[in-house]
Amino acid sequence: MRILITGGAGFIGSHVADHLATDGHEVVVLDALLPQAHDGAPAWTNDHEFVEGDVRDPDLLARLLPGVDAVCHQAAMVGHGVDPSDAPEYASHNDLGTAVLLAAMHAAGSGRLVLAGSMVVYGEGAYTCGEHGPVRPGPRRFADLDAGRFEPPCPHCGAPLEPGLVGEDAPLDPRSTYAATKLAQEHLASAWARQTGGTVWSLRYHNVYGPRMPRDTPYAGVASIFRSALERGEAPRVLEDGRQRRDFVHVTDVAAANALALGTDPAEGTLVPVNVCSGEPHTIGDLAAALAAAIDGPAPVVVGGARPGDVRHVVADPARARELLGFRARTGFAEGVTAFATAPLRSPAGR
C-alpha cells in the first residue's frame, strides 16, 4: 500500500514510518516540523519520501492524496502544554488540521484512516466503590491536592475507591485542552466515516515512551522529563506521591499496532476505538526509579503537588486490541525502560 503518514517525522510517526517501510509499504511522510518538537528535519526522514508541510494546507493535501491507499494521522500538538493560552494552537493543529485532512480525503476518494487517539479522552480511569459499585469520580479539588489527598473519593459516599482497567466503552471525560482536542478529533473522524462510508481506527495510545522522544520542552512526556533531569545529574521530581498508575507502552509496540490497524478493516462507516497499551500497569514512581537505576543516577524525589488537569489513575484494558487487531505489546517495562535510559532523544528548535 501507499500510505501517507502525517506527523511522520515525529516521535511516534517516525517509528510508524520505519515499521511500515520494513513491511514493504510505500511511505509518504508529511510533517510541519514544529519548533516545539524539531530542530530541523531529523535524519530518519532521509529513509522515506518526505514532504515538509502543514496538514492544514488543503492545496498540499490535494497534491499528496491521489494514489494514497490509507492515511495514518499522527500529526498533532501533544502533551500537557503550558497553560490555557495554548488552547488556540491545540485546536488549530489538532482539530482544524484533522478537519482539513478529512475534507481532502473525501475529495480524493480516500476512505481508510488510522487516527492517533489518546487515553486522555477518558479523564480518570475506571473505579469501583465497595458500596456503590462502578463510579465516575469528579475532578479532584485543589484543596485536596494541596493537602496531599490525591485519591479521588466516591462521588456518592466519599469512601476510598479501587482503581481498575478502563475499556473503550467507558464514558469520555477530557480534563485538559489537549484531551478535549483529541476527543474532538474522534468526533470529526466518526462523522466523516458515517458520511462517506470510510473506516477509522482510533488507536488510543497510553503513555508512549522510547527513542526519539522530544526533550527539554513543556510538551514532552513524563519519561522524557525524567530522562532530561537525570542527564543533568538531577533527581527526577515526582509529583503527588508517585503512586499514580499508568500504562507505559514502548513506541515500537505502538508502531506495530498501527501496522495491524492498516491491515484490518472495521465495518464501513464506523470509527472503532482501541486501547494501545502494554497491559502492565506501573506507577509514575516506578518509572522514575527504574530510569534512575538504569543509569545509576540520583534517586527520585517525591515533591507532592499536582498539575491542573492531571488525573490520578488511568490503566487500560488491552482485551479489544487483542481481539480485533491481534495486538500484544512485546516490550516489557524493565527491558524498555532500561533501553530508554540511554536512547537518543530529540531536541526542539534552538536547543
Q: What CA–CA distance (Å, rounded) separates 30 from 8?
A: 6
Q: What CA–CA distance (Å, rounded) separates 175 from 191?
A: 23
Which pLDDT value is given to residue 349? 55
Cell 480525503 -> residue: 105
Residue 194's pLDDT band (cuts 50, 70, 90): very high
Of 268, 212, 217, 249, the C-alpha closest to 328 is 249
| DSSP one-letter string for 92-126 | IIIIIHHHHHHHHHHHHT--EEEEEEEGGGG-S-E
Which pLDDT value is given to residue 221? 84
Q: What CA–CA distance (Å, rounded) separates 39 from 81?
A: 19
Q: What CA–CA distance (Å, rounded) separates 180 from 11?
A: 21
The domain over range 2-125+166-341 is classified in CATH as 3.40.50.720: yes
Contact 134, 166 (CB under 8 A): no
Q: Which of 90, 122, 178, 205 is catalytic?
A: 178
Q: Compute the average pLDDT of residues 318-328.
A: 97
| β-pair partners for 270 | 199
Distances (CA, A) of 188 to 27, 96, 107, 185, 239: 25, 10, 16, 5, 34
Is beta strand 70-73 parallel, antiparallel or unpaired with respect to 2-6?
parallel
Output 34 or 182, whichever has higher pLDDT: 182
Contact 193, 199 (CB under 8 A): yes
Distances (CA, A) of 161 to 126, 200, 309, 318: 10, 35, 19, 22
Q: Where are the domains of the chain?
A: 2-125+166-341
Q: What CA–CA distance (Å, rounded) separates 313 from 119?
A: 11
Q: Compute the average pLDDT of residues 121-136.
A: 96
Of 172, 151, 168, the C-alpha closest to 160 is 151
Is 127 tagged catalytic? no
Residue 350's pLDDT band (cuts 50, 70, 90): low
Could you give phi then psi for residue 125, rounded to 5 degrees? Answer: -80, -155
| DSSP one-letter string for 128-179 | EETTTEEE---PPPHHHHHTT--SPPPTTT----EEEEEPTTSPP---SHHH
Lowest mean pLDDT among 129-138, 231-240, 341-350: 341-350
Lowest mean pLDDT among 105-109, 115-119, 148-152, 219-223: 219-223
3-state secondary structure of 21: helix
Which pLDDT value is given to residue 309? 77
Cell 487500560 -> residue: 316
Residue 35's pLDDT band (cuts 50, 70, 90): confident
Which pLDDT value is given to residue 219? 67
| DSSP one-letter string for 37-51 | T-SSS-GGGGGSEEE
Amino acid at 307: R
CB contact burial 231-254 (16+ within 10 A = b; e otherwise): eeeebbebbbbbebebbbbbbbbb
Q: What CA–CA distance (Å, rounded) separates 245 from 282?
A: 6
Q: What CA–CA distance (Å, rounded) separates 275 from 316?
A: 7
Average pLDDT, the chain: 93
pTM of the model: 0.95
Q: Which three cell numbers stand for residue 65?
A: 492524496
Which pLDDT value is given to residue 348? 66
Q: Compute the average pLDDT of residues 234-262.
A: 97
Contact 39, 65 (CB under 8 A): no
Residues in Cβ contact with 346 at an 8 Å cutoff, skipping those fewer than 6 apart:
11, 37, 38, 39, 42, 212, 213, 214, 215
Task: Return the percentage of the chain with pLDDT > 70, whole number.
Answer: 98
Answer whether residue 7 shows pLDDT above 80.
Answer: yes
| DSSP one-letter string for 215-267 | -SSTTS-HHHHHHHHHHTTPPPEEEBTS--EEEEEEHHHHHHHHHHHHT----
**pLDDT tens digit string along 78-106?**
877 778 889 999 999 999 999 999 999 99
